Amino acid sequence: MRRHLFLFGLFFLLVFFLSLSHGAVPVDLFHPDELSRRILLEVRLPRVLLAALSGASLSLAGLYFQYVMQNPLADSFTTGASASAALGAVLALLFFGETWVLPSALFLAFLGLVAVLRIASLRGRLLPVTMLLAGIVVNTFASASISLLKFLAQESVASLVFWLMGGFQNATYLRCAGLAAILFGACFYGLYRAPALDLTAFDDETARASGVPLYRLRRELLFLGALLTAVTVSFSGIIGFVGLIVPHLLRLAGFLRAEMLLPLSLLFGASFLVLADLLSRVLLSQGQELPVGVLTSALGGLFFLYLLVKRRRELYELV
């Protein structure tokens, strides 16, 4: 276990260093001039930090959603958390300004979560399949509302579309600190509950018989997943696929226990998004940027497809 953690940690540090040393403007990390120092400390470092924290948050949120719904397709998209948070952010951007993005995204993400919980609760139990379907309905409704807002505010549509594609330009140390605190709390909870999380992989009766308070556990995991998603979406727009593929890739690599999956999801998710952000900054010339959400979906999707085709039999069909 320690060896794997060390290797993933080393990979993360390597990617982090690469991301700090490369960008639109060449910067000498060891002998920076005044401009380089400013770029490094005021623009690049907070951005790379936010990318790392967002990757870790989205991966952890995806992992929690998969535990709750017992479905490999569950992530912040299928639960509706991502789209409802984005709807809140778009409303704030159109009507109130950038400062209201976080509260508005949080409010609507939790409104979506309450809707999902109400629909999927039956006599003190949470029905995972109903929850997934309710999440898809919330997602569809929020996406349709965003489309309507884009239609009504046609002149602002380009800005909204680009924002929704995701990016870390607006990173600040304060945002990083806020997200890090939430991530720390969510991760601590997961590690504390690791044995219970493993038991939820069995059927409900077995988990209950082993003393796992399933309903409470699922509600808490849903709350943490939605919180992580909403804060990340409000800071960096919609970044697809991270929450879905990172836990899956780790399972495909043979890491099935929660105590391993949790820290490795954090490290791998962070590395993946830092790398995607680096590519989004350096692929085009003259300081042009690509929206990072486009890259995560393209890269993650292709890699995931490859692994899925290679190892589908042993992992999902025959186990």
The site for other proteins (CB under 8 A) is made up of 23-25, 35, 38-39, 42-44, 46-47, 93-94, 96-98, 151, 153-159, 162-163, 167, 169-172, 281, 286-291
The rounded distance, in Å, linking the Cα atoms of 262 and 250 is 10
Please state the separation of Cα 298 from the chain's center in Å.
16
The rounded distance, in Å, linking the Cα atoms of 103 and 121 is 27
Give the residue among 76, 49, 11 at the shortest CA–CA distance from 274.
49
Closer residue to other proteins, CB minimum distance, 193 or 281: 281
Helices 81-95, 214-236: inter-axial angle, 10-degree rounding: 40
Neighbours of 199 (CB within 10 A): 19
- At 185, which amino acid appears? G
> Least distance from C-beta 19 to other proteins, angstroms?
13
> Least distance from C-beta 140 to other proteins, angstroms?
22
Which bin fits 80, alpha (ψ -120 to 50), beta or left (φ > 0)?
Answer: left
Name the token pair of 32.
């920076």
Closer residue to other proteins, CB minimum distance, 59 or 280: 280
Closer residue to other proteins, CB minimum distance, 190 or 293: 293
> Least distance from C-beta 275 to other proteins, angstroms?
17
Closer residue to other proteins, CB minimum distance, 224 or 276: 276
> Least distance from C-beta 172 to other proteins, angstroms?
4
Closer residue to other proteins, CB minimum distance, 248 or 281: 281
> Least distance from C-beta 180 to other proteins, angstroms?
16
CB 264 within 8 A of CB 250: yes
Closer residue to other proteins, CB minimum distance, 23 or 247: 23
The rounded distance, in Å, linking the Cα atoms of 19 and 306 is 26
> Least distance from C-beta 168 to other proteins, angstroms?
10
